[in-house]
Structure 1
Amino acid sequence: MKSIITLPATSGALAFDGEPSGVELDAIEQEMPLILAEVELLDAQIKTLDRPAVKLDERRIRRARNRVVAARRDLANRVGVVRAGGAA
């Protein structure tokens, strides 16, 4: 039977410490308004799971959906500006 020997990482690029990099943290920071809007929508939808939706619930869900769409639009516009600026 052959034994498998693990070798230590010899390159810094191969080592993974389990923490997000600065670039990944910046990307999360940019997406945070969208993440929060999606959480708000999910909360509004969860509230209606165990009972019938009333007008107030429907309004809350509609407004949360509008916030998600606006956050996606803002994120897409922001990413588009960064990409266009970088290409020029």
Structure 2
Amino acid sequence: MDHIVTVQDAVTAFADFMEPTKAELDAIEQEMPVILAGVDLVDAQIIALDHAPNEVDRRRIRRARHRVLAARRELANRTAGTTGLSGGAA
């Protein structure tokens, strides 16, 4: 009979290393507006699946897509400003 303890030791041996680092958590925090906008878009699409899409559904999806694009643009502009590129026409 195999004891669960030996399996547990093998499974949890790297548990300390599986936690996200501070840098990874910071990256997730920076991307959170994009993630939330994407969730809103999926929610709008799910609502439209429930019935034949009407004009309100189309507007809801269109606005959610615009929020996703705006959040992505903001993230890209923020990360592009922190890369420290030298030269360039400013």
TM range (shorter): 0.7 to 0.9
1:50 equivalent in alignment to 2:50: yes
Query: Percentage identity across aligned positions?
Result: 58
1:63 equivalent in alignment to 2:63: yes
User: Partner of 1:23 in structure 2?
Assistant: 23
Counterparts of 1:66 and 1:55 in 2: how far apart (Å)? Answer: 16
User: Partner of 1:36 in structure 2?
Assistant: 36
Counterparts of 1:50 and 1:56 in 2: how far apart (Å)? Answer: 13
Q: Structure 1 residue 16: deviation in Å?
A: 5.5
Amino acid at match of 1:31: E
More helix by share: 2
**Cα deviation 1:37-79 (Å, max 9, x = unaligned):** 0000000001111211111110000000000000000000000
Instruction: Could you tell me which runs of 5 or more consecutive residues in structure 1 were left unpaired when the two chains were aligned.
Output: 1-14
RMSD: 1.3
Q: Give runs of ≥4 in structure 1 deviating > 2 Å.
A: none
Counterparts of 2:81 and 2:64 in 1: how far apart (Å)? Answer: 26
Counterparts of 2:15 and 2:72 in 1: how far apart (Å)? Answer: 31
TM-score by length of 1: 0.76
Instruction: Could you tell me which runs of 5 or more consecutive residues in structure 2 were left unpaired when the two chains were aligned.
Output: 1-13
